[in-house]
Each structure stands twice: as C-alpha cells, then as structure tokens.
Structure 1
C-alpha cells in the first residue's frame, strides 16, 4: 500500500462529496483530543502503579543489577 496514493484518493473523495456528515466525521477525527493510556487501565492496575510510585519515592526499590544478579548465577 502506497500511503501517499491512499491520501490522495481520500482527498479526491473528500473534494467530490457534498455530504456534510462525512465532512463533519473527518473533521472530528482530526480535532479530537488524544486519548490518555491511563484511562484504559482498570482500577486495580491504577492502584498498583500508584503504590509502585509511592514505594519508589520512599526508596523501596532495587536497581536492575541487584534484581538480575541472582538470575545470572553470580
């Protein structure tokens, strides 16, 4: 699929239409607010992240080297 050709075809179709609902729909796609990934999380996931952030602020974490060393057999 050539993206430039696809865009040109959409432009051609848009120029040829007088259907206000199509034009409004396209306009809506380009003007909507970007979706925040946080809104897609369930409450349990949000709580886990908030708890992890709180623990990190309190210094309750291990750096990657401390974490991975036991698994490397060192």
Structure 2
C-alpha cells in the first residue's frame, strides 16, 4: 500500500469514529508540532534563573526537602 492509499484508508477510518474524545486525541497528535516549547515563552531573566538553578544542582549545591521545610516552618 502506497502513501496515498494509506491516507485514504485513514480518512475512511476517521469518518467512522463516533467518539469525540478519540477525534480530539487524533487532532492533538496531528497538531503537536504546532505547539510552542514553553522555554520559548520564558523571559531571559526566567531562563537565566533556571540555568543558574541547574548549575547549582550540578555542583551539588542543594538542600534536602526536610531541611528546607525545617527552616521555613513556624
């Protein structure tokens, strides 16, 4: 089966679908490349803060959750 025949077969299957949630999922799959990466929507300051945090983690400059919470609990 060539690509043209594959497309026709898919269209026929789409026409038989009754469940709107399945159609929605198919639409999401078809348009997933249209979505922007959240990184592109961040400001330069936000990107810098994330990169700084990433560097701190790489350098072992972290605090475990319980210690952090003990510092901030009343």
Instruction: Name the TM-score class by shorter chain.
Output: 0.5 to 0.7
Gaps of 5+ in 2: 1-18, 24-29
* Structure 1 partner of 2:14: none
Residues 9-65 of structure 1: CA deviation (Å, up to 9, x unaligned): xxxxxxxxxxxxxxxxxxxxx446231000000000000000000011000111111
**TM-score for both structures, normalised by structure 2:** 0.52
Where does residue 72 of structure 2 map in the other structure?
71
TM score, norm. by length of structure 1? 0.52
Gap change, CA 1:32 and 1:67, over 3 Å in 2 = closer
* Residue aligning to 2:49: 48
Q: Please state whether the residue corresponding to 1:56 is helix, strand or coil.
A: helix
Q: Which residue of 2 aligns with 1:24?
A: none
Moved over 2 A (4+): 70-73
Give, in angstroms, the shift of residue 69 of structure 1. Answer: 1.1
RMSD of equivalent CA atoms: 2.1
Distance in structure 2 (CA, Å) of the matches to 1:37 and 1:31: 16
